[in-house]
Copies of this chain bind each other. A is one copy, B any other.
Amino acid sequence: MAQERLVTEITPKSEDFSRWYLDLVRRAELADYSPVKGCMVLPPYGYALWELVQQHLDRRIRETGARNAYFPLFIPKSLLEKEAEHVEGFAPEVAWVTQGGSETLEEPLAVRPTSEAIICTMFAKWVKSWRDLPLMINQWCNVVRWEKVTRPFLRTTEFLWQEGHTVHATAAEAEAETLQMLEVYRRFATEDLAIPVYHGPKSDAERFAGAAQTYAIEALMGDGRALQAGTSHNLGQHFARAFGIRFEDRDQQLQYAWSTSWGVSTRIVGALVMVHGDENGLVLPPKVAPTQIVIVPILAGAARGEVIEAARRILEVLRAAGLRVELDQRDEQTPGWKFAEYELRGVPLRLEVGPKDVAKRQAVLVSRLGRQKHFVPETEIPARAQALLAQIQAQMYESALERLRQGTMEVDDYQQFKELMESSRGFLLAGWDGSAEVEAQIKAETTATVRCIQGPAPADARCVVSGRPAKYLAYFAKAY
């Protein structure tokens, strides 16, 4: 009874995960399809979630000393082409503006797929001396990648993200920045979104186009697939040389600088759905839930006026305590309908107040996790609500971490590797000789890829495919 399934319009998660995801994202109003191919609309609820995600990440980025700025949407073709690997990687995905008003453009403009080319052009102008370094910039914006197959949040033609771009005087500082941002992303995922992740370097095949080294955080979705949730790139001197970012060092020598870039996008909203969601809908971590508590008054009987009065009083008290609270006092919907609706939307706490509660000057707090009921005296509601929200946040992380552990297997046999990738999927930690051939073979035979490298392999470890001495232990998974 306590776990009955209240939502019937959504394909069961156990039946078809992919369909469940699409149904849920639309029904919970996180995203809607638009008449523009591959582009989604973020309705108020989905956008509010993104704004809260942004707030948490923005604060963490600022704490590192990076400052927000804004650069043009358009990148002239010649600029995009300056870094050879970069253009090769992105050209197939670029949307081109060729016409402005009635004028055909002499040079097509790329709608930014990422902003290295335009930002490095400006950096070359801004950086003159070692005193200007490090230069640390972050941009919140929209980017466009021409995608053939799209899926809300996970892969869309246009998406929203932040992209950080930094310039440093030495290789060591650039590497330190790259790793610092990887750690910022890891803590953001785990502490703010309750999403545990693996982190580490990517294989060469999975590197960002133009980077010397890419690092990523990788999360496990409810269907055993991995999702890359954030990347941090050490660009070496590739972009500094291509765009002429040079500075006079302390000895008055002109040097090429070292740069990094790093990004997290609206994809992360898809991860929130697929890591935490259940048969009843979304489950949102309290830190980013647009509504942390919904008050549902039980309006039966003569005490109606008193119940509404109590509900409003509690609303004010909870708002004053700094919580995001809504009161749903609509008459045209039953309390049961409302319970299901807010469960579907992933609201972490429900507060019920009815005639009996008013008489006892109490209310009932019900957790989205397991629907435990807590009868709380009115005076204690704010403190108890805050404690429960903190507990839900912690519990969500612990559960997700447990699923990640359960979903990770160490494998040293390729036959078993293939079978697991066919059945339960998840992350397979295996020895890898570091060769592109093995990586390609695994991808061809299982569609799994190296998600990130855990570290150097122990001395006796063997490559799961070639049997040669393993260079690394790597996390393999099928990925979104």
Q: B residues within 8 A CB of A97?
A: 95-98, 111
The SS class assigned to the A binding surface is mixed
Q: Given known contacts A35-B76, A118-B34, is B102 in contact with A41 (CB within 8 Å)?
A: no
Is A7 positioned at the interface, with any CB of B under 8 Å from its CB? no
Is A341 positioned at the interface, with any CB of B under 8 Å from its CB? no
Which chain B residue shows the least CB distance to A68? Answer: B47
Q: Given known contacts A101-B146, A137-B44, is B118 in contact with A72 (CB within 8 Å)?
A: no
Taking the nearest CB of chain B, how far is it from the CB of A106, in angstroms? 10
Q: Which of A39, A41, A157 is packed against the most chain B CB atoms within 10 Å?
A: A41
Number of copies: 2
Is A349 positioned at the interface, with any CB of B under 8 Å from its CB? no
Count A interface residues, CB 8 Å.
57
Q: B residues within 8 A CB of A377?
A: none
Q: Are B71 and A34 in contact (CB under 8 A)?
A: yes
CB contact list, A142-192 vs B, under 8 A: 142, 144, 146, 157-158, 160
Which chain B residue shows the least CB distance to A35? Answer: B121
Taking the nearest CB of chain B, how far is it from the CB of A225, in angstroms? 25
Q: Are A48 and B76 in contact (CB under 8 A)?
A: no
Q: Are B96 and A99 in contact (CB under 8 A)?
A: yes
Q: B residues within 8 A CB of A92?
A: 101-102
Is A141 positioned at the interface, with any CB of B under 8 Å from its CB? yes
CB contact list, A56-114 vs B, under 8 A: 67-76, 79, 91-103, 108-109, 111
In the assembled complex, 16 residue pairs joining A and B whose CB atoms fall closer than 8 Å, in A order, are A34-B71, A34-B72, A35-B79, A35-B118, A35-B121, A39-B72, A42-B70, A42-B71, A44-B68, A44-B69, A44-B137, A47-B70, A95-B109, A97-B98, A131-B332, A142-B142
5 cross-chain pairs, A with B, having the tightest CB-CB distances, nearest first:
A39-B72, A44-B67, A96-B99, A100-B146, A42-B70
